[in-house]
Each structure stands twice: as C-alpha cells, then as structure tokens.
Chains A and B, each alone.
Chain A
Amino acid sequence: MSKLRIGLSTVFMLMLLSIFSAVAFAEDGVPPTSTNPAPGIHVGDVDNFGNQSTHRTHGNFQNNTNSCANCHSTHNGEDEMLLMKDGEYELCMSCHDGTMGFYDVTKGSGAGTFDDSHLSSSMHNVDSDLLVKQAPGAVKNTSTDILECSSCHNPHGSANDRLLKETVIGTTPFAYNPTTFVSVPVGTKTINLALTEDPDYTAINTLTGGGLKITKSIGPKDTLDKQYYSQFCSACHDDYYGKRSSGRPSNATKTDTHDYLFSHTTNSTSQGRNCAACHYAHGTDVTTLTDALGQKVADLTKPVADGGKYGWTEEKAEAYMKDVSVKGSSLKKYTNMAICFACHATSISNQIDPKYIGPDGRFIGRGLIR
C-alpha cells in the first residue's frame, strides 16, 4: 500500500513539476537559446567581470558567449588555433565594408586599400587561398597558413596599434630589440602608429570621451616604431629585411658571391629605410598611388575652378598614374619607381626644375615618405 502511495506521490510531483516548469518556460515567452539562455539574461547583459556590459567592438565577450563559433570550431578547426578559415574575410567585411561608416578598408587610408576594381591594383590578397610562405622574400618563412585578415591583425586585441599582431607566424613574438637582438615579449607594445583623430568623424569622436576614437594613420610613429614595423613585415618577407650593404640574409647560406642578392635597406630608423616608407600594408591602386610630387589622381582631376592645378580628365590622370612595372604595383605608395626619384633625384640629376624642389633641397613629394 505504502509503495503505491509513494508511486502516486511521485507521479503527482512530476505532474506539478511539469506544470510549473511550463509556466516558468512561458514567462519569458521563448525556450532558452544561445542568445537568451535564461529568462532576463541576454547576450551583452554581463561582461566578464559580472558588470553590466558596455559594448566593446573587439575583444570582450560575456561569460556565456556563443560568439566563439563565429570563427572557431572545437573539433574541426583548420589550424592550430581551431580557426574556420572559410568566411573570415566576410566576417571582417560585414563591418569594414563601409556599412559601419568608419574603418572602411575598401577606401584609401594609411594602410592603402582593399579594392581590385581600379587600374594598377595589388594587395595582400586575403580570401584568395594564398599561403603565407608564398610571400615575396620568404626564405625562413615556411608557414602553410592561408593569408587572412588574421594573419596580421588579432581581432581579440593587441598591445599594438590597429590590432597588429604581437606574433605573426606561430607563437614566437616577431619583435626584437634592434640593438641587443633580445626578443620583446608578447604584451609589450612595439608598433606605435602616427595616429591622429580623423576629422571626418569628429561628431563620433567627441562622443566617446576617452574611449574609442576614429583615427587615421600615416605610418609608424617614431624611429624605433619604424624598425619594429619592418620586423613585423619581415616575419613573412624575411629575406628583404636588412641593410643594403650587408646583402640579403640568405646570402649567408651561399658559397658563391656571384649568387648574392642585395635589397634596399629596410631595417633603419632613417627616413625611407623601412617597409612602410614605400609600401602600403593593405594594398594599392591607381587612386592611392602618388607621383614623385606626392600628387594623386584626385589632385590631378580637381577642376581648376575649385583650386586644382591641372583639371585633367579621369582618363588622363589614370593613364599618367598607371603603374607599368613588370611585377605589378606591389602595394607601392608611389607609382612605378617614382619613390626612388623622389628621394634620390637631387643626388642623381642636376637638371631638376627648381619648382619641384622643396625648402629642404629635396623633391617636394619626399616629405611624405616615413
């Protein structure tokens, strides 16, 4: 009899439980999901410290986040970081395509442009299945990773400006002290860019107090930053990093001096002797290239009535600025070999029209070179 009673009580309890759980379930209207796991708890409600969350674009996730799955796969990752490479470019481009108003990478900026619709375009071709080891000048770099936005940027945050990674290939930091050759540990800021608040976004910048500012960059900030910036590039393009007179690092492995190769100096603090002096990080095209005077297509086509010097047609300006180099425009800031001329003109020619010479006795466009 008592067994029967216990049995009936259990059934009754289960019935009550199901009724109440149904009510509790109905309270928030929906069954629990990844973005609404419990009544009143939504993604974005709580930050990692249990505080009311303030939205941070990069690098902050709440304790019950499901956002990891946007990029990572627990058991089916395509590299040791468990990344799913398909869709990475699209994910980044869902905001950086101009639909957030700022940091549109298809528009010319301090990093150049990701736009292949114009003449003379060349870029770090993310989303094209290029392997990192295919970088020009790669000798030590044998990385079989696919070139993606995350090859250079860490979306989770970085000590460096513009989320530039602290380790580029593998887990070894790219940066080392150029004098002592001692490795700079992860977490130390090595790349400061010359950032200034972008006047196009003053309205937004005045809102954020000390927080996020929309900035623009003209390249690495100070002398040491230039060297670290070159070290960053040379994590992949390793054989291009060095002093002209010393030759390329791979010469050390060659026995015949006739096989030696030499490169323009890239590891110096001096103007024009770091990677960013001549190259954009993202890419270039006829709209971002300049001539030796630092003029772009936009300057050449500006109507005379609006203060332009030439008032050329778009076709004429683009034909002038077009890069005809056999190897392509190679992410250059200046068209063709105009940067060589801008820097070295006064030492290789004494017939330069004085109107092209600036007060420093050099070509006017030289001033733009970092």
Chain B
Amino acid sequence: MKKRTVYILMSSIVALSVAFFAAIYFFNLESTIKPIVAKVDPSGPPIFTNALYGEFNAPLNKPMDVTKIGEFVYVSDTNNKQVQVFDQSGTSVFKFGKEGTKEGEFKFPYGIAGDKDGNVYVADLYNANISIFDSKGKFLKYFNDKEKLLKSPGGLRIVDKKLYVTDIKANKLFVFNLSGEKLLEIGGAGMEEGKFIAPNAVAVDNDDHIYVTDSGNNRVQVFDKSGKFIKIINGSKDGKGDPTFLNPRGVAVDSKGNVFVVNNLAHNIYAFDKNGKELYELGGMGTENDKLYLPNGLFIDDRDTLFVTDTINQRVSVFY
C-alpha cells in the first residue's frame, strides 16, 4: 500500500472520529448514546448487594422474617429466641428478647413489623401473642387482641395503621386496627378461593390489595381491601393451573406493583409483574453470595431494596 493511501485512511479515521464526537456534543446526544453503552434495565432482576450475618460468635440462627423500621433492619432470629437489629451497613447493632413465655420473651419469634412511631411488633407462633417493643427493644406491651383471636400468629405487616396477621393453625388472616379491634377476617381451612392451609405471610400493595401466602396450598391469594377474593398467583398462567411453588413463604410487593414470592423448598424467589406474568427468579440453592438455602421471610423497603431471610446460610441477603 502506498504511503499516501495510508495517510488518507488514517486522517479519514481521525476526521470521522472528530465528526462523531462533535455531532454528539453539538446535537446534545449524550443522553441518547449513554444508555447504549451502560444500560441498566430497570425491569431486570435486582442484584445481590450484601448480606447481614450478625456477630461472628453469635450468628443468626434460623432467621424467619425481616423488616426495616426507620434506618434499622430488624430480624426475627427465631432459634436464638430474639430479635437482632442491623444498621444499613450490615453491622449487628443490638439484640433483644430471650427464651420464655413472659413479657419480652419469645418461644418462636416469627412475623416482624414496625408502626410509624418506630415501635416493633413481633408475632410469636408458640406463645400465641404479638409483643410490642420500642425501637430500642424495650418491651412496651402485648398487642391487645381484644377478642383473643390469635392462636398461632405467623406473618405480620403493619400498613396505614392497620395490622395484618396470619394465623397458621386457624388458617386465617386477621386485620386489626392498632388498638386491637378486628376490622377484617379472611379464610378458614380449605383449598377453595378465599380459604387457606397454613398461611405464612402477608403483604399489602399501594392499591391496598392484600397478598396472603397460602403455604399448604402452594399459592398466593390476592384480596381487595374489603377481603374480596381477586386472584391466585401460583406460577401457572393466570393462576388457574397447577402450582409451581414449593412451600411458598415470604411475599412482598415493590413500588411498581411487582410481586415477589419466596419459594422455600426450591430455594428461590419468583417475581411476577402486576398482571401475574412471571418476570424472573432470584437465588437458587446454594451458599454463594446470590444463592439461597431454605429462604423464608421477605421484605421490600420504599427504595425497592429486597431483604430475604436465608435460614440455613444464617443470614439476611439484600438484593437491589
């Protein structure tokens, strides 16, 4: 090749590059070009970011549920019969509770939730009560279940001054106001719509729809705020086919209305869009960072950060 041709080729490459970047600059195309280079798909699956383990000498033992109240993450550390509290960086800040049946004691701390004052509500499956603590873990009182309805409280969430609690043995969901008056009751044992077998978790979305994990029936049922059955999510198309869930546990809804269901025996989390279409799966059996091993509780905060209790790996995994 002649020297002259090489020079022409080289200078045209330079000229084209200059023209390309000049065009981007003068026509303000940065914002259009950038996503092509490093596009983060907002509808894509959340990514594992970190895990909360607790102290080396006193790790979590069968963490069953998790919630975020203010800036702290509260975990029901079930086999240790206590609640462990973590800061955002995953450091265990303090713990409260010990084994027993008296005030401030637990036998099987399960569902955990916070009210707007930062008080912590802990459902105890065996003691058949809900204890209320201040945000520092000081026992305040028992939730005043005026009609003494609760036999085996499991899943617990507080949304808009309403307390949603599943009763596993009674196969029911109860909704109370915070002074303990029953507002709504759904369920009873059964496989039909609106009936449950061992409901383990509850969530409420922005439309006040209530999601109840019906573990024994391998499905999640969705109700409107008056308790009217809307639909079933079980992994099949329209929720009408056979379930794909294996012992579903925690359930949560993000700000876009996507529903996340923990599949305990399949060690993963299924995500569905608002219409029930399956989006993706998180986890899978394992001990690596983004894996899960018998996961149970699930909480999604207002920034759509996902917290899942990973019982055998003795941690709470955070996905964002």
Contacts of B99 in A (CB 8 A): 117
Tell me whether A94 and B265 are in contact (CB under 8 A). Answer: yes
Which bracket fits the contact residues of B? 35 or more
Structural contact, A101 and B171, CB atoms closer than 8 A: yes
- Determine the distance from Cα of A366 to Cα of B107 in the docked complex, in whole angstroms: 33
- The yes or no answer to A270 lying at the interface (CB within 8 A) is no
Beta-carbon contact of A101 and B169 below 8 Å? yes
Contacts of B53 in A (CB 8 A): none
- One of A29, A94, A101, A207 near B198 (C-beta < 8 A): A101
Which residues of chain A (98-134) have a CB below 8 Å from chain B?
98-102, 106, 117
A311 at interface, CB cutoff 8 A: no
Q: Which residues of A contact B189 (CB under 8 A)?
A: 201, 203-204, 207
Query: Which residue of chain B has its CB nearest to the CB of A314?
Result: B101
Which residues on the B side are within 8 Å of A97 (C-beta)? Answer: 108
Does A36 lie at the interface of the complex (its beta carbon under 8 Å from any beta carbon of B)? yes
CA distance A28 to B279 in the complex (A): 9
Per-position 1/0 for A260-290, Cβ under 8 A of B: 0000000000000000000000000000000
Contact pattern, B 91-118, Cβ under 8 Å of A = 1, otherwise 0: 0000000010000000110100000000
Cβ of A55 within 8 Å of any chain B Cβ, yes or no, is yes
B242 contacts chain A at the CB level, 8 A cutoff: yes
Segment among A4-12, A40-48, A74-82, A246-254 that sits at the interface with chain B = A40-48
Residue A324 at the B interface, CB < 8 A?
A: no
Size of interface on A: residues with Cβ below 8 Å to B: 37
User: Are B265 and A44 within 8 A (Cβ)?
Assistant: no
Contact B265 A101 (CB under 8 A): no
B197 contact set on A, CB distance < 8 A: 101, 204
Contacting A203 at CB < 8 Å: which of B110, B188, B311? B188
Query: What does DSSP make chain B's interface, helix, strand, loop or mixed?
Result: loop
Nearest chain B residue, comparing its CB with the CB of A55: B218
B242 A52 Cβ-Cβ under 8 A: yes
Residues of A within 8 A of B249 (CB): 99
Give the chain B neighbours of A29 by CB distance below 8 A. Answer: 277-280
Report chain B residues within 8 Å CB of A44.
218, 235, 242-246
The answer to whether A36 and B277 touch across the interface, beta carbons within 8 angstroms, is no
Interface residues of B in 268-320 (CB under 8 A from A): 268, 277-281, 284-285, 293-294, 296, 311-312
- Cα A203 to Cα B168 with chains together (Å): 13
A304 to B264, CA, bound (A): 45
Residue A328 CB within 8 A of the other chain: no
Q: State whether B247 touches A94 (Cβ < 8 A).
A: yes
| Chain B residues, CB < 8 A from A99 | 110, 125, 154, 168, 198, 200, 215, 249
On whether the beta carbons of A98 and B216 are closer than 8 Å, the reply is no
Q: Which of B218-270 contact A (CB under 8 A)?
A: 218, 235-237, 241-247, 249, 263-266, 268
Contact present for A203 and B171 (CB under 8 Å): yes
A106 to B191, CA, bound (A): 26
Partner-B contacts on A (CB < 8 A) = 28-30, 33-36, 40, 42-45, 52-55, 67, 69-70, 87, 90-91, 94-95, 97-102, 106, 117, 200-201, 203-204, 207
Give B contacts to A, CB under 8 Å.
62, 99, 107-108, 110, 125-126, 152, 154, 168-169, 171, 188-191, 197-198, 200, 215-216, 218, 235-237, 241-247, 249, 263-266, 268, 277-281, 284-285, 293-294, 296, 311-312
> 11 A-B contacts, Cβ less than 8 Å apart?
A28-B278, A43-B244, A44-B218, A44-B235, A44-B242, A44-B243, A91-B294, A98-B108, A100-B216, A101-B198, A203-B189
